[in-house]
Amino acid sequence: MHPIISWVIGILAIVILGTVADLLLAHTKMGKFVKSIFAAVTILVIILPVPSMLASGCNFDDSFIIQPEFELDQSFIDFSNRIRINSLNRGLEAQLRADGVDGAIVEVDGIVVNNEIIVQSVTINIQNATFDTVAGQLNPRDFVTRRVAEHLHIDRAQVVVI
């Protein structure tokens, strides 16, 4: 174990022991004495290793548990991106329902770049969809294409309706 980590663990152990002893002997004359002893020991545990660490040229930058290097978990990032795209799919389906198209199945094909979804194409299956009176008066494919393109701020050519 790294010397600094063991030093910090030693400090924590003394503090915990002192707290337990203080709780057990809180209302006795011996309690004040034990509390003073543990305070002195805690100070010694903190101070004694410092001169030897400074003399040996201890590098404090590399000493702690949290290191500046980190490793990305690509599978978690991919999972998170799939959830975001699935949420976009469900949101578009809900928006189409609000626009009068019930039962449309939306599939967004996109990538996430800099925490933003870049939509490459959208496929909408309206074979089992029902349209309300306003949406039914228009060409269903054109209506759905236009509404999805407006909602996503993309070109209509990126929207495929089947």
pLDDT, one tens digit per residue, over 39-97 is 888 898 888 887 777 777 665 555 555 555 666 788 888 899 999 999 999 999 999 99
- The packing angle between helices 74-98 and 140-152, to 10°, is 130
Find all residues with CB under 8 Å of 11, minimum gap 6, and list them.
Answer: 42, 45, 46
Give the global pTM.
0.54
Q: What are phi and psi of 108, to 5 degrees?
A: -90, 130
